[in-house]
Amino acid sequence: MEYIDITEKLEEFYRHLSAADVDRTIFSAKFGDGKTEFLHQFKEKYSDEYTFYTLYPVNYQIAPNEQIMEYIKRDLLFQLILNGTLTPNIEIPDSILLQWYVNENSFNILKDIIKFAPSILGSGNQFVAVLKGVTELAESINNQCKKFKEFKTKITEGDFEKAVKIIEKLSLKVREIYTN
């Protein structure tokens, strides 16, 4: 088989993609014209300037139309994780998260504390009322701790973790196309 030099076409395609007025490109040719080889060489030559994500539509050919986008999302997220674009978040110490939580929820915390002030500040012979108020305050603090844990989970769960969850969810659907 004779080698065809496509260097000039690669550079022409690069100039096309780099043009300021180009925001969409349809890359099309009939079967056997070398699209895959062209893109492979383009990726090799310009890998420092572009990030490439390759999808294989053959994986979706037996899927219903409404599921194809879900499969594409799954495959893109998977590639983002594989190439290191999405990485696990750094660990944020609880002390920092607690400060953040208190700052974000200070009104609710203060409101919980203030509603027990009358029973706590009651006279000495109101022991039962004070005990009830302290118990309710403890329950309220416990509730705030639970809210803090939820807050921590929400804050520390970054794009990486979200992507993994989406991939897991979509992977269940992907298995269906291979089992049907």
- pLDDT on residue 28: 86
Asked if residue 111 is part of any domain, the answer here is yes
pLDDT for residue 99 is more than 80? no
Asked if residue 180 is part of any domain, the answer here is no
Cα-based distances in Å from 164 to 51, 63, 149: 20, 22, 21
Quote the percentage of the chain above a pLDDT of 90.
Answer: 11
Arithmetic mean of pLDDT, 57-73: 75
Query: Distance (Å, rounded) from C-alpha 65 to C-alpha 176?
Result: 14
Asked if residue 137 is part of any domain, the answer here is yes
pLDDT for residue 124 is more than 60? no
Query: Distance (Å, rounded) from C-alpha 141 to C-alpha 143?
Result: 5
Token digits of residue 106: 């200070």
Token digits of residue 175: 């298995």
Are 68 and 56 a contacting pair, CB within 8 Å? no
Token digits of residue 168: 């897991």
Are 10 and 50 a contacting pair, CB within 8 Å? no
CA dihedral 180, 79, 34, 67 (to 10 degrees): 30
pLDDT for residue 8 is more than 80? yes
Q: Each residue of 34-54: pLDDT tens digit?
A: 888 899 999 999 989 888 887
Domains identified in the chain, total number: 2
Range of the domain at 128: 94-156
Asked if residue 48 is part of any domain, the answer here is yes
